[in-house]
Every structure is written in C-alpha cells, then in structure tokens.
Amino acid sequence: MRKKAGAILAQESIPVPHAHFKLDGVPERERFDVWRESISCVFEVEADRQVRNDNFHAEIDANMFGSIMLARTRTLQQRWERSPRLMARDGMDHYMIQLYEKGDMLWETKTGTRSFPTDGLVIFDLAQPAVSRTNNFANISLFIPRSMLEDQLTSADDQHLRVLTGEEPMVQLLRDHMSSLKALSSRMTARQGAEIAPATVGLAAACLNAAASPDRPNQASGVAFAKLTRARRHIEARLDDPDLSVDLICRNLGISRTKLYELFDSFGGIGTYIRDRRLRQALVALADKTRAHHSTYDIALAAGYSSDAAFVRAFHRRYGVTPNDVRHAGYAPRSSEHHDRPGLDRRHEDWVKHLMI
C-alpha cells in the first residue's frame, strides 16, 4: 500500500512536459537554416537576406497538456507557407489557434489582404494550405487535434483563416485562458495538464461557435450557407461511395443541378470539391500507421478511383508527392547535423506531429 501511494505521489509531482528551442550557441551564419529546418514541422519559411544574416534569432517555448500543445514563438519578420507538399509530408490534421502578444501577421483572402485584429484570434486548419507574412513578433499557438474539437463545432470545415475580433467576450476568455495556461505551466503537474486539456478544448469550441467573424455569412446569404453546409455534410458522409454523383446529391438534397453548382462555385466547382476531399481523406489514411495494412489500391478505391495509376497521378498533382512517399515517410528526412546538435531542444517537433498518437 505504501509503495502504491508513493508511486501515485511521484506521478503527481511530474511537471508538465516542457521544451525550449532556442538558437543560443549556434553560429550566426547557420541560425536561419537551423530554424527553417525545425519550424518545417508546421511551416516552410523564408526571410530576406538581411534578416537571415543580421543576428537572426528565433525560439519556441512549448508545453504539452495531455493531448494538446501550447507554444510561444518569438522571431523576426518572415514569409510562412503551409504548402500541399508539406501537408502531405507531415499528414497533420490539427487546428491551430493563435494570439499575438507583439507584432502582426498579414495574409491574402478572397476579399483582399487581411491583418491580425488587436487582441483577436486567428484559426488555422492545418489540413489546408496557407501563406502569410509577419513582422517581428511574439505569439502563442494552441494546437488541438481535429478529432478532439471538430465534433463540438457547428462548422468544423469553415474555420481556416477565420479571424475573431478581440471585442467579443468569448474571444477574450479564450485569449486569457491561453495566456494564463502558458504563464502557469511551470507550476503545473503533468496530471493537472492532462485534466485541463478537455476544458481548454471545450472553451475553444464555445468561442469558435459563439464569436462573430467578418468571414461569416450575413443574413441575406444565411439560407444559401445552410444549404451549402447540408450539402458538404452529405458529401463528407459518402466520400467512399463510388456512386456519389451530382445527380445523387441533388436527388437526396432536393436541389437543382444549377443551384448545387452555384453553391460550390467558390470551391472551384462541385467536382473539384469532392476530388479534393477524397484526396485529403486518402492522405490521412496513408499517413495513419494503424492503417498500414490497407493497400494503396484499397485507399484509391475509397477515394473514388478505379485504378492505382489514376489515383497516383491525381494525388501527385494535388500534393507534389506520391502515395508511397507519404506511406513510407522517408522522402524528406531531417538533417541529422542540425537535429543532433548539442544544446538544441527540438522535442516540440515530435510533439506537434504526434498529438493523439
């Protein structure tokens, strides 16, 4: 009994996992390359020559709270991209919610260039591509696996690059929670971190569901948005159905072909939307080690392709790599020279890749 009590006490004294990547001790001429390789676990980055060569600095201070990760990043102005090739390489399927403590971010949307609102939040769906630019900044990023959050969201697939204004009470609650969690992380145990994770996800869901957003449809388009949401859910539930077609969707939803085409015009058309969703489903299946026994042909069939060759061509056009590249996950190895450098703490790279695994 005494041994068991001692084991429980020891478990409760284990601190929240903490990793701190910083470039102290790295020669100045190598700093940006080391940073670029490390941050490629989420983004591909570029910077002007002067930024790269003039005492470049960057750091990531990360904690794991159960199956979610919170990280503070500080660095200089850069260009950030989450490209289809990178998405295929890492197979990540997380949401990332960011607040900026210092500096700003700019990115392009269908309505023009957007900037980060004061005291606001921005949401990234890491299963979708993104390009942005930042000046010198410090921010906090909350990484939540899709499987923990999407079932709690009213519009799980409409969160990418969504901006939430800091004037909203729910946004302020989530901002304050993220900041407090990071500030208190050094005083929390791993058990406490795991216990706070579901509450953090629940607060994030409540914020995303309740907060207004400039990207949300207005009253005039509310009916069309409801029809689009219904159509997307219908398609998502039948992605592996080889008989899925425009006629079948129209018949099941009771809408005309013209209306269906109109609803999906902003996605490049209904055919493009279905193809991209099926390829994304295939990417997740290929990256999932628990489904390694599924043949590429089986995954191709589930994606609506009747032959391996057609599937491989479509997959390569979408992601820039082949299905086998993703399955074997060895086509873009990290540099052991940088990864094994003494003094570099790069545990955050593995943490963000393997949330929920």
Q: 244: closest CA among 314, 305, 156?
A: 305
216's CB contacts (< 8 A; 6+ apart) are none
Q: Are strands 58-65 and 18-22 parallel, antiparallel or unpaired?
A: antiparallel
For 301-318, what is the HEC assignment? Answer: HHCCCCCHHHHHHHHHHH
How confident is the model over 214-256, as pLDDT tens digits? 544 433 355 676 788 788 888 888 888 888 889 999 999 999 9
Domains in the chain and their CATH numbers?
13-216+334-353 (2.60.120.10), 219-320 (1.10.10.60)
How far is it, in rounded angstroms, from Cα 209 to Cα 214?
Answer: 14
Angle between helices 308-319 and 270-287 (to 10 degrees): 100
Task: Give the mean pLDDT of 116-137.
Answer: 90
CB 70 within 8 A of CB 16: no
Angle between helices 190-210 and 169-184 (to 10 degrees): 160
* Higher per-residue confidence, 64 vs 86: 64
How confident is the model over 145-155, as pLDDT tens digits? 988 998 899 88
Does the global pTM surpass 0.95? no
How far is it, in rounded angstroms, from Cα 326 to Cα 319?
Answer: 10
